[in-house]
Each structure stands twice: as structure tokens, then as C-alpha cells.
Amino acid sequence: MKSREIRKKNTKILHGVQWFAFIFGTFGFYWLATLGPINLKRFPMPWMVCWSDPFSPGACPAGTLQHFLTTGNGVIPFFAIGMLALIAVIFGRMTCGWLCPFGLLQDLTYKMKKYAKFIVLGLLAAILVYLCWRAPMFSGYTSPRTGKFTSSALYKLWGKGRMQEFWSYLILYIVLFSAMFSLFFIRFKKFTISNKLGNWGRAFFFIVPFIVLPLLALDPHLATRGPWFCKICPSGTVFAAIPQFLMNALPRDFFPLFGLPMTSPFIPYGFSAYQDIRAMGQAMFAIKISMLVLLIWVTTLSKRVFCKFACPIGTFYSFFAYFSAVRIHVDLEKCKGESCNVCKAVCPMDIKIYQEGSLSHCIGCLECVNKCPQGAAQVIRPSYLNFLIPRKRYTVATVPEKQLKCSSCSDCSEEK
């Protein structure tokens, strides 16, 4: 086992990389999106940050893949698939553990203390009040002449004197979101999503909303097939939908932002001119916001729920988990199993790395390798990656070749 100073340094490096990736992927380098000749917005990033995020320098791989599924012209996104596969075959799911901004947000949500929780809930409640007032969400009215339902925000219902609809939907919002927020103040026991349940969840979200619905289901607003997973994606809600709606609250005179030329790369993407999209926030948007609130609540009780249960990019990476160049190996002779469980305590995915089936959920943060008191959790990596994962800081596996190839296989464990 490495010294205490080395273990602390390893954890600091992990957190430093995570925060740099968060700043890079969500707001700090947004000007790279349209800066020529790169125009990074045309390229998918290897993590979950929505293409519509005005401060993201790149595109979301999930959105990119779904876009080609919805076009219906048979074009295969070889670049996006190849890029993700290349990363996965070398690093497995390490991108999820080291670089994904939404993964870091989930880590922070789970670790929130009492006062931080009140601050976050207060901010979220203020955003919801604004959205319910300015965006249609569920509210609207039925025309007495046509009998058709028309979506309308609360402030418009108030302005038109439709007081019955106004008070009805205001009470609906108060009851609905009060019920959701009350969950945060009820004491629930923290829990772990089992590997088996996580696999079922990943299979459902990867197959149904990510592949099948974009191929078959029409978007009623676009009259074409739509990116259905994007419509419910919590990462898109946090990094794109909410910022877009809040920035539309700025007066028209603020655009182009910062008084810069409309073609300047230093204007956040999509804000070179004023375009009020708040009227688009209808029922699907309200469902998306509600799902985000519920996800935040569940994430306070269980680690990285979205990563383990629903993320399509993490699911794609997990296909390579058992043969990627970098992966975790457990020395079963040294491992103490249930009597120790340090690996589970430090794991952001809440998995026992020594259990069969855990490797596909491992996000390669290397904290189990870093903290294992027995030195049983080890990292397999090719020699050319020694500069990233040096022996002096991590326990590198030195086991027979056969065991390297199937380190998590139950047959090998039985033979051993």
C-alpha cells in the first residue's frame, strides 16, 4: 500500500482534473465553440454536456448519435462512434470518472451537507418559480370556439384575465413541486443500486429512448423523428435548458451579449441575437424539470444514480470494460471482501469491485486502487501509459497473462 501522502496526492489530482474538466466543459472555454478554424462545437465531446448549452465548447455525443438516427437517410456517424470506441478500448469508462461534468455534479450532490442542501434547494425553488411564471409548462386554456387547448404561461393567463385557469394551474404547481421538495426533508435511508438493477436500467434507457424512439417515434412539434433521450436528459436540463431560459430573461438591448460583434466567438453560442424560447417550455419541458428534481433527491440518497442506471454514453463505454487497456484487477488472494469493503466506501459508483459484474460499472477513478489497505485492487495498464498511471503512485497489476484477460471471470476465480 502506498504512503498516506501519496494517497492524498492521488485524490487531489483526481479532484483537480475533475474540476478542470468541469470548467472546460461547461463554461470556461465556451469561446472555442465557434473560434475558427477549429469550431469545436462541430465535434462531440467524450462526456455528457448538452450541445444546446450556450457555454459548452463542444457537442454532446448522445445528441450527435441520436441526430443521425433521426435523419432517416442511412448516414452512419463513423467519427462519433469511432472516437467513443477508441477512448473506451483504451480507458474504458475513465472518462466518466475523471472528465464528466455531470458526474462531478452528482458526486457533489451526494456529499451535500445540511446547509449546502438548503442553499441548493432555495436556488432550485427560485428557478422553478420563475419557470412556472414565464414558461407555459402544464398551464393553458381551452378555447370556447375551437375546443382546442392552447399552452399559456401563468403571467399570460393573469394578463388575459383567465383567473380560473390561472388559480387552477398555480395550485397545481404548488401541490406538485411542494410534494417533490418535501421528499428532501423526510429522512430516508441511503441505499445502493445493485449491479443487476443498474444493468436493467441501462439496457432500458439505451435501447428505448436512445435508439428505438429516435428511429420510430415522431416529435409532435417537429413532425419528424426526434432525439427522445435528449428530451428527458437531466444533463441537458442543467447545462442547457435552464441557462437558456434564464438568459432569455435579459432585456432585448443586452443582445448581442457584451456589446460584441455578432460573429465574435466570445458571445455564448446562440446568443448573438435575441430569441425568446420561453414559450417552447411546455408539458415535455415541465416533465423534464420534474425528473431533474426527483433525480437530485435520489442522488442525495445513492451515489451517481444517473451514471449507474441511465447514461447511454456510460453504457456504450461499459461494453469495453472487460478488455480495455486500462481496467481494474482484483487479487483475490489479498482481498478481504465483505470484512473490509474499503473499495465500496470510496467508490463514487458504490460498487464492490471484487464482485462479479462490477467492472462494467467501474468508472476508473482509481480510488479503490489508491485506498485499498491490502493492495488487492490493482490497475492494469499498458507500459506506454506509465506517465499517466505511474507505479510509484498506483499499484499496477503483475499477474499471469491468462488472468489479465479475464480478471473478473467467475471461471478463473473457481480455478484459482
Identify the H or E element spanning 6.
Answer: helix 4-23
Which residues, including other chains, have CB under 8 Å from residue 28's CB and lie 6 or more apart?
none
Q: Are residues 74 and 201 in the same domain?
A: yes
Q: Residue ranges of the alpha helices (H) in 233-352?
A: 234-236, 242-247, 283-299, 305-309, 312-318, 342-346
Within a domain: 90 = yes
3-class SS at 140? Answer: strand
Q: Are residues 271 and 399 in the same domain?
A: no
3-class SS at 215? Answer: helix
Q: Are residues 291 and 202 in the same domain?
A: yes
Bridge partners for 327 per DSSP: 380
Q: Are residues 196 and 92 in the same domain?
A: yes
Which has the closest alpha carbon to 45: 74, 16, 24? Answer: 24
Within a domain: 319 = no
Q: What is the pLDDT of residues 147-198, one digit of tens each?
A: 889 999 999 999 999 999 999 999 999 999 999 999 999 999 999 999 999 9
Pairwise CA distance, residues 332 & 152, whole Å: 62
Q: Are residues 303 and 334 in the same domain?
A: no
Q: What is the pLDDT of residues 309-362, one digit of tens each?
A: 999 999 999 999 999 999 999 999 999 999 999 999 999 999 999 999 999 999
Within a domain: 52 = yes
Q: 397 vs 61, 263, 370, 413, CA distance in Å?
A: 32, 52, 13, 16
Alpha carbon 378 to chain centroid, angstroms: 27
Which has the closest alpha carbon to 360: 196, 216, 212? Answer: 196
- 314, 343, 376 - which closes a domain: 314
Specify the DSSP class assigned to residue 217: P
Number of domains, the chain: 2
Q: Is 314 left (phi over 0), alpha (psi -120 to 50) or beta?
A: alpha
Pairwise CA distance, residues 107 & 295, whole Å: 13
> Cα 73–74–77 angle (5° rounding)?
110
Q: Are residues 235 and 267 in the same domain?
A: yes
CB neighbour burial string for 329-352, b if at least 16 within 10 angstroms, e if fewer: bbbeeebeeeebebbbebbbbbbb
- pTM of the predicted model, to two decimals? 0.90
Which residues, including other chains, have CB under 8 Å from residue 370's CB and lie 6 or more apart?
2, 7, 10, 11, 346, 394
Q: Are residues 212 and 288 in the same domain?
A: yes
DSSP code string of 220-250:
TTTTEE--HHHHH-HHHIIIIIHHHHHHTTS
Q: Are residues 220 and 300 in the same domain?
A: yes
Q: What is the pLDDT of residues 35-94, one digit of tens each?
A: 888 889 989 999 998 988 999 999 999 999 998 888 767 788 899 999 999 999 999 999
User: Is the pLDDT score of 4 beyond 60?
Assistant: yes
Q: Are residues 350 and 290 in the same domain?
A: no
> Cα 51–133–237 angle (5° rounding)?
20
Within a domain: 354 = yes
Q: What is the pLDDT of residues 210-260, one digit of tens each?
A: 999 988 888 776 667 788 999 999 999 999 999 989 888 888 888 887 778
Specify the DSSP class assigned to residue 351: -
Bridge partners for 44 per DSSP: 59
Within a domain: 116 = no
> What pLDDT band is residue 414 in, cutting at 50, 70 and 90?
very low
Q: What is the span of the domain harbouring residue 371?
A: 327-411
Largest alpha-carbon pair distance within the chain?
79
pLDDT score of 49: 87
- 314, 349, 378 - which closes a domain: 314
Which residues, including other chains, have CB under 8 Å from residue 96's CB and lie 6 or more apart?
47, 103, 307, 311, 313, 314, 317, 363, 364
3-class SS at 35? Answer: coil
Q: Are residues 87 and 217 in the same domain?
A: yes
Contact between 58 and 49 (Cβ < 8 Å): yes
Q: Are residues 238 and 338 in the same domain?
A: no
> Cα 305–307–312 angle (5° rounding)?
130
3-class SS at 27? Answer: helix
- What is the residue-averaged pLDDT of the chain? 89
Within a domain: 155 = no
What pairing do the DSSP bridges indicate for beta strands 327-330 and 377-380? antiparallel
pLDDT score of 399: 55
Q: 163 vs 220, 279, 296, 300, CA distance in Å?
A: 29, 20, 33, 38
- 265, 292, 314 - which closes a domain: 314
Which has the closest alpha carbon to 349: 338, 336, 365? Answer: 365
Q: Are residues 62 and 202 in the same domain?
A: yes
Within a domain: 69 = yes
User: Is the pLDDT score of 415 beyond 50?
Assistant: no
Within a domain: 347 = yes
Residue found by looking up cell 436500467 in the block: 201
